[in-house]
Structure 1
């Protein structure tokens, strides 16, 4: 069930996910997000599991992490086949424990209860029917197994309101779109060089090392994320509530449904100062900036 819209989305993601694969720091940071403690598992809890990484992305960083942590097999699923060369560069070392499959979360090519752990991060809003996709993910989770998803919540925080406005501007304004498309570490460095040179010509530093600190807030990792927010087309904007997702789990027979959060480590840019808000998503400051935030939820199939 591969629509033209979803294929366009896949092409956008493919470009920046290949950049992530080529940057060792970014790839390592993404791999570190798969952690047993975060999912409520004991150390070594992924050992021997049959895992589905649904919507794995071109670099399949989560698939890599599950295999590194001892999964017996990881099936990495993504639309089409064009992404497989990128994923294979990282996953081929795992041999038959890794399988790459082209397919859609809206019509998973697996039998009921096929997997011990199903992982689906940031995929459902880019499908024509997120609820059908969730039901498919639930269907292939075996009784006693776990399903984990991430999905952006309602855009009622300042940050997402701004993002939505800028997404509209990206779609309608060619000059703004060109600026975003050309935004990367090199162009940012050129802009920062000019900005700081003019500043230095007109006044001395206010704080020791302030120029170096300011530069540290911007890197390729940040710009890859920003381009993703603007460039990726989406069927469903930030329009999901925590209670809605809890209901999806409950209606599919899941128990022990938990929203999880973490202090995300490894950022070397501006986002390191936002990490407290990712951990405490229900703090008033986090709600002000991010609304319902990034909903990350896990449940056990009854």
Structure 2
């Protein structure tokens, strides 16, 4: 267990109710709870349900049942992102007002076609740390008059961060304090590797990146403990925190629980779901053993 100075500390476990919790979630929740207790701090539960299509009340209820079964207690009330869309929209409008965000009109299909055509002609397309193609520059380079015409016509669009302008506005090199299972110490942020990240979609008023940094600030979270799969996302979060004048938590990215093929667990696989394991007769002590605690 990482040693944390005794001060006012706030930890949070922030699952999305778009599927059943699995062993990886159990590890993260337990680590957050135990590290908060070790520091004499607070432990919060946040429901990240900005995706109103995939997130359901049934999955949210399952989160509470699973955590209670593991004897994990949290402060009430729980912050639910779907109840705070106005906060995210205000942050988005601030970035738009600063000239750091632009409307993006290309559909996923159009983007895919553009990437496939480029690669077919031997032109490598840049990809983000998750392996996805970065967004094409067309909308960023679009004339303002054309943007306004498209907006006035009601064409569906997202909003994306103009990474070049955002880095210029940030001014100084970005970094974060890392105490997790990978590299530790002061980590240099590299947000440009993600290209023009999305801030909101036509079907969702916020993105994960934007909502998570705002929630952490509003809830005064001091320590973010989450899986190593989100390690590189921290670069984007540090940029948004700087642009919006938000404090930077200490980050702790922990090891992932993987399947027999070495892949991180997915909510679509019920055999590692906590509810499934409970129905098979496993006890909370067995979960601790399975996650290596």
Q: If the length of structure 1 is used for normalisation, what is the TM-score?
A: 0.29
Work out which structure has the larger RCO, using CA pairs closer than 8 Å and 6 or more positions apart in sequence: 2
Q: If the length of structure 2 is used for normalisation, what is the TM-score?
A: 0.30
